[in-house]
Amino acid sequence: MNSIVNLPHDDHSCGWYAALPEPRPARRLTGEQKADYVVIGAGFAGLAAARRLAEHMPQARILLVDAQRVGYGASGRNSGFVIDLPHKFALEHPEPQHKQRLLGLNRAAIDQLQTLIGRHAIDCQWSHAGKYQGAVGERGLAYLDHFEKLLADLGEPYRQVERQELAGVLGTDYYSRAIFTPGCYLMQPAALVRGLGASLPQNVEVLEESPIQRLEKDAGGNWILHGKEGLIRTPKVLLGTSIFTQEFGYLRNRLLPVMTFASWTRPLTDAEMASVGVQADWGLTPADHAGTTVRMTQDRRLIIRNTYKHVPRYGRSINDSIRQKVREDHCAAFHARYPQLAHVPFTHTWGGVYAISRNFTNFFGKLDEGVFATACDNGVGAAWGTISGTLLADKVVGADSQRLDDIQSVTGMPSRNPPEPFLGLGVRSRIRWAAWNSRSEL
């Protein structure tokens, strides 16, 4: 028997979600249900898994269950990048084939999302905008030089963008230089996730606001999923639960819950856009991974994202005073870049929890008899969640492919964490040390 200890507890101030119309009333888990497959977690991974299962098994009853509303959790809280390149740490992998497999998987995810957005007319600010990776000072420039070498070794296209040209896009000369890579897409994450949930095949039933609190097996070998007001019996469970996978008793002491934060402004006026010479619809990530991400949305909102926290109790680890300090830090980063826009307020500040592992390894595959999972996206969840959820469904039904071979070859077991209190002390110290070292890039 596996019992959940902590449930999602996200803040109520996610700008992406607040910008959407009110959703339809939630359908919740009540009574006793039976299903051929149950997918827990309606983020990118769970949505992709449920869709693929339905395509393979059109006569099956598939339940997709989430503790919150679709689009409200981590998948709807990121900065809206769908990145094709392997993560910075994965780019340093010694085997070229490993990196090429990751690249192929990410691009397959982008193709999949683009097809679904077009087929179902999902309004989510989808844009093939590419991505800038920017450096402020010497530390950032050293990282940028390293990034350029990794791209050259990978054989991927890129372009150096110097300060003046970059300022013509960003509306600020804060950055010394950037590297532009063309394969990234931008989007409104909560809108995309909600749109994916609304366009699932007919044999997928979505149950929202229905936290699963306990898993156990019955005498016949089926799984019983216990909710607050009902239960589900099923032979197969797919977990698209990221960091919360450990709450079901799996991958415990192998995942690290980290929260990162973002703030955004109201939409800028024509006069404000012109006053700084900023263009709409671009995204910049920091060359120094502990630096600041900046985005301009299609509807002219500027986003600042930085600050990381170790959150062993997820959202309950964060209080109002911490959020206020985060907003102040975001204001400082915003004003440093756009002093002419100091009068423009932030309307929302929010956090999102994701899972990392000490060896930067993603888990994919079987956890128990009848239980499968993709977990630990290491901070690049949109593309990875989409392709890993899709291929997890393939694995469950026995649909072999080269892509399935690829994902199984680049995933493994996240390494064990040291016990508390040493884990918490170590993670907090490392985050503080990274922030101190990267202060010139914030």
For residues 80 and 145, give the distance between their C-alpha atoms in angstroms, rounded to a whole number.
25
Please state whether 86 falls in left (phi above 0), alpha (psi between -120 and 50) or beta: beta
Name the pLDDT band for 34 (thresholds 50, 70, 90): very high
Q: DSSP letters along 73-118, please?
A: SGGGSS-SEE--SPPHHHHT-S-HHHHHHHHHHHHHHHHHHHHHHH
* Residue 4 confidence (pLDDT): 64
* Number of neighbouring beta carbons within 10 Å of residue 249: 17
Check whether 216 has a pLDDT greater than 80: yes
Confidence of residue 113 (pLDDT cuts 50, 70, 90): very high
Lowest-pLDDT range, 5-9, 54-58, 221-225, 304-308? Answer: 5-9
The total number of residues written for the chain in this structure: 442
Q: What predicted TM-score, i.e. pTM, was given to this entire model?
A: 0.96
pLDDT at residue 3 in the model: 64
The band of 5, judged by pLDDT with boundaries at 50, 70 and 90, is: low
pLDDT tier at 99 (50, 70, 90 boundaries)? very high
- Give me the half-sphere count of Cα atoms (radius 13 Å) on the Cβ side of residue 123: 4
Would you tell me the crossing angle of helices 138-154 and 96-119 to the nearest 10 degrees? 90
Give the pLDDT score at 437.
Answer: 84
pLDDT(250) > 80 = yes
Whether the per-residue pLDDT at 338 is higher than 80: the answer is yes
Ordered structural domains, the chain, with CATH? 1-126+184-268+296-317+336-442 (3.50.50.60)
Q: What is the pLDDT of residues 289-332, one digit of tens each?
A: 889 999 999 999 999 999 999 999 999 999 999 999 999 999 99
Is residue 380 scored above 80 in pLDDT?
A: no
pLDDT score of 1 more than 60: no
**pLDDT of res. 160:** 98
Strands (E) across 25-79 are located at 31-34, 37-40, 62-65
- Residue 418's pLDDT is 87
* Average confidence score pLDDT of the chain: 95
